[in-house]
C-alpha cells in the first residue's frame, strides 16, 4: 500500500488548534480544555486496540504527556485530533509489538482482560442471567473479531466506527491515501461479517 503525504491541512476554524496555540503561549487552561475534550476518546481508542484498561490508561497519559512536551515546537499541519491520535496509535502499536515479542503464544497476545467491562444496563433493561451471559459472549466475540484484524484494518475500523473519523482523517492518521482507507475498511468489514455471522440476526 503506497504511502503518501495525505495530511489533512488544519481547518482554519479548528478550535483544538487554537487551544494548542494558546497553550503554546503559556495558557495552561487551554491544555486542560484539550484534555477534557479528548481524553475519553483517546482512552477508548487505545483500549480497543490493546484490550486492557490499565495499559490504555498509561498509554493515554503518555500520549498527552507528549502533546504537553511538544507544545513549544507545535506547528499545526493537520487537525489537532489527527496529530493526537497519531501519537496514541504509535504508542498502542509499540505496546502491541512489545507484547507480541514477549508473548509465548498467539492466544496470550490476543487474550485481553476477559470479556472486559460490560456496561450495566439501566434497570428497565436488566436481562435475565442467561441473556446476560449471551451478551457477554457476544461482546467477547466482537473484541476477538477486531483483534484478529490486520493492524491497519483494525486501526481503520476503530477510528471509523468508534471515533467517527472521516476518511480524510483516517488517511492522515495512518499516513495512507483515502483510497487505501476505503480498501482497508472494505476488507475489514468482510472479515468482520464472516467472524460475527453467528451473532447477527438473520435478515
Residue 155: CB minimum distance to other proteins, A: 14
99 sits near other proteins (criterion: CB under 8 A): no
Q: 164 and 156 in contact (C-beta within 8 Å)?
A: no
Q: Determine, following the binding rule CB under 8 A, whether residue 148 of this chain makes contact with other proteins.
A: no
Residue 1 engages other proteins in binding (rule: CB under 8 A): no
Q: How far apart are CA 7 and CA 16, in angstroms?
A: 17
157 binds other proteins (CB under 8 A): yes
139 binding other proteins? (CB under 8 A): yes
Closest distance to other proteins from the beta carbon of 19 (Å): 14
Considering Cα of 44, then 46, then 49, then 55, what sign does the dihedral take? negative
Give contact residues for other proteins (rule: CB under 8 A).
25-28, 32, 35-36, 39-40, 43-44, 47-48, 53, 56-57, 60-61, 64-65, 68-69, 72, 116-119, 135, 138-139, 142-143, 146, 157, 160-162, 167, 182-183, 185-187, 189-190, 192-193, 195-197, 199-201, 203
Amino acid at each position: 500500500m503506497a504511502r503518501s503525504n495525505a495530511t489533512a491541512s488544519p481547518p482554519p476554524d479548528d478550535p483544538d488548534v487554537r487551544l494548542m496555540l494558546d497553550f503554546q503561549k503559556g495558557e495552561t487552561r487551554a491544555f486542560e480544555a484539550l484534555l477534557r475534550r479528548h481524553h475519553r476518546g483517546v482512552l477508548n481508542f487505545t483500549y480497543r486496540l490493546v484490550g486492557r484498561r490499565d495499559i490504555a490508561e498509561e498509554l493515554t497519559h503518555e500520549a498527552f504527556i507528549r502533546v504537553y512536551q511538544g507544545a513549544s515546537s507545535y506547528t499545526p499541519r493537520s487537525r489537532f485530533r489527527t496529530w493526537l491520535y497519531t501519537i496514541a496509535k504509535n504508542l498502542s502499536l509499540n505496546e502491541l509489538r512489545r507484547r507480541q515479542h514477549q508473548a509465548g503464544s498467539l492466544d496470550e497476545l490476543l487474550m485481553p482482560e476477559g470479556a472486559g467491562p460490560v456496561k450495566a444496563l439501566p434497570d428497565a433493561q436488566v436481562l435475565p442471567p442467561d441473556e446476560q451471559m449471551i451478551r457477554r459472549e457476544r461482546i467477547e466475540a466482537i473484541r476477538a473479531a477486531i483483534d484478529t484484524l490486520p493492524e491497519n484494518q483494525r486501526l481503520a475500523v476503530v477510528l471509523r466506527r468508534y471515533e467517527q473519523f472521516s476518511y480524510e482523517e483516517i488517511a492522515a492518521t495512518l499516513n495512507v491515501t483515502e483510497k487505501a482507507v476505503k480498501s482497508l475498511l472494505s476488507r475489514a468489514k468482510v472479515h468482520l461479517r464472516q467472524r460475527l455471522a453467528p451473532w447477527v440476526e438473520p435478515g
